[in-house]
Structure 1
Amino acid sequence: MTIAVFSDIHGNVYSLEKALKIMESLNPDKYLFLGDMAGYYYYQNESIELLNSLHNLISIKGNHDSYFLNSFNKADALKKLDLQYGKSYSMLSESINEKSMKFFNDLLPYEKNSLFEAYHGSPNNYLEEYIYPDTNFNFELNVPFIFLGHTHYPMCKKINDTFIINPGSIGQPRDFNHGSFTIVDLKDKKIENIRYEYNIGKLEKEVLALQDKEYLYNVLQRTK
């Protein structure tokens, strides 16, 4: 059984569109989204519509999704988030539709089964803990695969009989500006991280036109 694992879309529908075309061409049996639809960029409704068209999708809640849900329709809380992460929080609060709200409310805290566990952060802190290759892995390794998001950096590390995999980020990769996801064959234990280019110029122009946080533009400029 193959699974397409992806994370941290952050409203970047341009990157998501390209990623899903590649994923669908590979015909995975399942899709696993590790969280963070909210935050940073501006097309959550459109991105959620694309995810809702997928069959066999598991979706996990990320820290930014939690921030959004806890601040929805609360002007002071949204203002604080906008100041820290950019204008997308208030924009989403004003524009969110019924299907998108249901998507956020239905996000799972984690997924556990006999083949894999999936978290946005880590088994110890589902939302907030960052796990990098040099992190001390102080959690139980009881399944063949553990999937983690949150860092925006792809990772594949094997400890004993468990692969710890981060697919990187669809919407805001932080190593360089090519989108990132991972295809995993759960039976044969074949793992491939896929990087791809997309039309990043549209998003760059929108960040500048909105006079949004400088970081949101600069991170899109990172190259190898």
Structure 2
Amino acid sequence: MKIGIFSDTHDNVANLEKAHQIFNNHNIELALFCGDLVSPFMFKFLSDWPWPIKMVFGNNEGDKYGIIRRLQQYDLHKIEYAPKGNIFSLEEDGQKIAVFHGNGAEITQALLTCGDYDLVCTGHDHVAKISQIGKTLWVNPGTVAGVSENPEVTKGSVAIYDTKSRQAEIIYLL
């Protein structure tokens, strides 16, 4: 199973469409979103996505109530937010996965080192990276928006995770 991982869209519709195309080209079956959708209007663009999307809130969703209300307005049953908004824990293809925005270093570290997860997905810092921490693969897909205070971040990115190979790759948006 291939899983698309994305984060930090910050209302960049053009790059969200590029992410959609990459996920489509890689035949993903599930999308994981690591937070910072930002505005409720973004659901208009996610409504065309054919895959289930599991989401967490980031630190820039100011109107969380509005986001949930808009989600209900679109009746997008394929989009699911974490029950309390912060951490999504799920199992796919026999692998335990955690999705967290990444804006709490202690929480990120706990998820990576507790030994409960095969895959931990975070965003927040807009820097794409893949690291192995013990048995846990840590994937930060970077930012769909393609902006950052870090001068090394010059374009948007997403990640693809393959549950069979247990490998991930970063793909940059062109």
- TM superposition score category, shorter chain reference: 0.7 to 0.9
1:164 aligned to 120, 130, 138, which one? 138
Compute the RMSD of aligned alpha carbons.
Answer: 2.5
CA distance in 2, matches of 1:173, 1:194: 16
CA distance in 2, matches of 1:157, 1:196: 21
Equivalent residue number for residue 77 of structure 2: none
Among the aligned pairs, what percent are the same residue? Answer: 25
After superposition, the Cα gap between the structure-2 partners of 1:161 and 1:62, relative to the gap in structure 1 and judged at 3 Å, is: same
Matched, 1:58 2:39: no
* Aligned-partner residue type, residue 60 of structure 1: V
> Matched residue of 1:113: which SS?
strand
* Aligned-partner residue type, residue 38 of structure 2: A
Q: Which has the larger radius of gyration?
A: 1
Higher-helix-fraction structure: 1
Equivalent residue number for residue 113 of structure 1: 90
Matched, 1:129 2:112: no
Equivalent residue number for residue 155 of structure 1: 129
Higher-strand-fraction structure: 2
The structural deviation recorded for 1:102 is 5.4
Matched, 1:194 2:171: yes
CA distance in 1, matches of 2:2, 2:160: 7
Unaligned runs of 5+ in 1: 73-95, 122-127, 198-224
Matched, 1:140 2:117: no
Unaligned runs of 5+ in 2: 75-79
- Between the two proteins, the alignment pairs up a number of residues equal to 154
> Matched residue of 1:58: which SS?
strand
CA distance in 1, matches of 2:89, 2:12: 28
CA distance in 2, matches of 1:152, 1:37: 13
TM-score (norm 2): 0.77
* Aligned-partner residue type, residue 187 of structure 1: K
Cα pair 2:162 2:168 within 8 Å, conserved = yes
Deviations 1:10-35 (A, max 9, x none): 10101111111121111101011111
After superposition, the Cα gap between the structure-2 partners of 1:130 and 1:68, relative to the gap in structure 1 and judged at 3 Å, is: farther
